[in-house]
Structure 1
C-alpha cells in the first residue's frame, strides 16, 4: 500500500532534504485524496485555501500546517496512527530551510529542483544544447545565466553562479552519481567565447576521470534519435520512487510513475546511440584542440 513506502523513506535520514520530503508528502496526499474520491475543490474548501494552492501543496511547492494536514487525513479516511505521525513528521521536516534558502534571488522553481537534486543518489541527464549544470565552469555558467530572457541583475547573476558551483559539491564530495548524455552540438557552441569553451571542455575531461561521472556524446553522424529536441533529468533516490524533471520556457514539469519508466527507456536508447565514455573523451579532446586557441 502507498503508506508503507512513506515509513521506509522517513527512516532514512539521508533523504531528508526539506524539498524532497515536501515533494513526497504532496505526492502521498494527492494519492490519498484520489483514493478517497475527494475532488481538489472539496479538499481545498475543507482547509480554506484555493484549489490552486492545494495543487501547489500536492506538487510539493508549499508546505502545510498540522491542523490542515490533520483535517485532510480525516477527510481522506487515513486512521492509522503511526502513518499519521509519519506524515506529520514529513510536514515538519518540509518546513526546514536548505542551504540554498539564503540566496534570495533564486526562482522558486529552481529552489525546488535544487532541493530534490540534493537528495538524489543518481541523476541521468540528457542535454541537447548546453553542458549539464553540474559540470559547468563558472564563466560558462555566467555566460548562460547572463543571456537568460528574464535578464537577471548583476547581483542575481553572481548569486546563481555561486549556487551552481555549490551544487557541484555533490559530485566532488561523491554524494551523487551523474550519467550525462550530450549532443555533439554542446561541444561546438561557443558559449562565452573560445577561451571559456576551452576551459569548459577541459573541465569535462577532468570530470570524466571521476568514478561517479560518466559523459557520453551523441555524434552528428548518428542522425535522428529519440528525444533529440527535449532535454530532461531523471532523479533517482536511495529510498522512494524516481522523478523526471524537464525545464521549459513556460514552466517546469515533474513527473513520476510510468513517465519515469518511459524516460528511463529513452535514456537507455540515448546511451546506446552515443559514443562510449572513452570515445567521447577522445572527441572532446579533439574538439578542444581543433576549435579553441
Structure 2
C-alpha cells in the first residue's frame, strides 16, 4: 500500500471526495469521538434527545447531518474546537447535491466509495467486477442488465474502463481480487472480449498494489457460495464498509459486519490458487481462446 500523506490521515483536509464519502467519513469520526469518552449509542441517543436509530444512521453515513445536530453531538461528545471546525466543514460538504447520475443513487454511492478507497477486497464468483473491466467486457455485461437504459450502456462502459486507470496511478489503492474460475470461462462478449479482459487482469496482477487469485473448480465448497461482495476501506486503522449488491438495490454493512466478511475473504484467499498459480491458469485460458 502506498504511504499515507497528511491528507490521508485527516479526511477534512483531503481532496474533494464527494458528499457520499464525506458523509461516511463524518459519521466515522463522530462515532470515534463518542467511543473515546466511553459513551454507548443508547446513552448518547438519550443525551441528545434523538429518536432511536438516528445516531446510528448518522454514524453510518446514511443521512446528512444538520448544523444543529452536529453542534449537539460536538457538545455531547466533548469534541475540541479544532476537531469541531473540521467536522463542521465536512458536514457542509456532505450535504451538497450531486448532478443526476446515469445509475441509481445506491450504485453511484459505491462508485464514489471505490474512488476514495485506500484498500479494496473484491470477491465475485462468476465474472470480473466493474473495478477491473475493459470497456468491451463492461459493454457486453451492461447490455444484458435490465435496469440500465440502452443510451447509458456506452457511457457506463467507458466510465468503468477509466476506473481501472486509478489502479495504475500514483497513490493507487491496494486491491485484493478473488474470482471464481467460472469468470475465466463465461464468454461475456465472446472469445475476443474475454481474451482482452483476461489480458487486462493479468497485466494488473503484475502491479505491486494488486493481488489476483482464482478460486478453482477443484477447490469444491468454499466460504461464500451465492454471495459476491466488496470490502471498501477508506481509512487506515478504521473499519470500512461491506457492499453487497442486488438487482435493484444494495446493502452497505458497517463495522459490526465487516469482521465476518473479512474472515470469509481470508478463507477465500486461503482456498484459492496462489497469485502465481492464478497467472499460469489465466495464461492457459488466453492460449485457448
TM-score (norm 1): 0.80
- How far is 1:58 from its partner? 5.1
Match of 1:47 in 2: none
Contact 1:9 1:15 in 2 (8 A): no
1:230 and 2:227 matched: yes
**What's the C-alpha RMSD, in Å, of the aligned pairs?**
2.9
In the alignment, which of 237, 244, 247 is matched to residue 246 of structure 1?
A: 244
User: How do residues 153-232 of structure 1 correspond to structure 2 at under 5 angstroms?
Assistant: 153-174=149-170, 175-232=172-229
Match of 2:85 in 1: 85
Aligned residue pair count: 271
1:126 and 2:133 matched: no
Match of 2:4 in 1: none
User: How do residues 37-116 of structure 1 correspond to structure 2 at under 5 angstroms?
Assistant: 38=45, 43=50, 57=58, 59-70=60-71, 77-82=76-81, 83-95=83-95, 101=98, 104-116=101-113
- How far is 1:180 from its partner? 0.5
Q: 1:56 to 1:36 in 2, by over 3 A?
A: closer
Distance 2:41 2:215 in 1: 42
- How far is 1:131 from its partner? 0.3
Q: Which runs of 5+ in 2 are unaligned?
A: 1-8, 35-39
Match of 2:267 in 1: 269
Contact 2:137 2:193 in 1 (8 A): yes
SS in 1 for 2:232: strand
Match of 2:283 in 1: 285
Q: 1:185-210 deviations in whole A, cap 9, x for unaligned?
A: 11111111122112111212221222
State which drifts further: 11-20 or 120-129: 11-20
- How far is 1:11 from its partner? 5.8
Structure 1 segments (4+ residues) deviating >4 Å:
14-17, 27-33, 51-59, 71-74
- How far is 1:71 from its partner? 5.0
- How far is 1:182 from its partner? 0.6
Match of 1:34 in 2: 41
Distance 1:53 1:142 in 2: 40
Contact 1:18 1:94 in 2 (8 A): yes
Q: 1:34 to 1:191 in 2, by over 3 A?
A: same
Q: Which runs of 5+ in 1 are unaligned?
A: 1-7, 45-50
Match of 1:21 in 2: 22
State which drifts further: 131-140 or 78-87: 78-87
